[in-house]
Amino acid sequence: MKQMLIDIMSAMMPFMKPVVYLGVGLAVAALALRIFGRQGAAAAAAGGAVAIGLFLLACEGMGRLLGFEPTVLFADPMNRQLYRNQFPFWLVGGAILALGWLVRLFSRGASA
């Protein structure tokens, strides 16, 4: 069972960068929508960012249980300075979660 989970985690790793980009895009869109006064749309986009942030934190926890240190690689794999552009899931997921949660909190408070 553990080996199957490790195989799934290894197969999933290349597809995590688009998920991170989606989460950051949703968080930035939520912030922009909140600034321009669209509280309902901002709350919805922030909810998506919160969900992606929680997903990344859950992936970090599962990776730690399996003995991995899950990271997102923001560099060309052929680059010699490969490890300079790697960030752990907890850092990226926490940032997306925090921004999404704050925008969602302020969007709900403004519409009430």
Q: What is the pLDDT of residue 49?
A: 94
Q: What is the pLDDT of residue 25?
A: 94
Residue spans of the domains in the chain: they are 17-111
Could you say which DSSP state residue 36 is in? T
Q: What are phi and psi of 73, to 5 degrees?
A: -100, 115
- Residues forming a β-bridge with 88: 71
Q: What is the pLDDT of residue 112?
A: 43
Q: What is the pLDDT of residue 73?
A: 72
Q: What is the pLDDT of residue 58?
A: 92
pLDDT string in tens for the chain (112-residue length) = 878 888 887 778 778 889 999 999 999 999 999 888 888 888 889 999 999 999 999 989 988 888 888 777 776 666 666 566 778 888 999 999 999 999 888 876 654 4
- Decide: helix, strand or coil at residue 77: coil
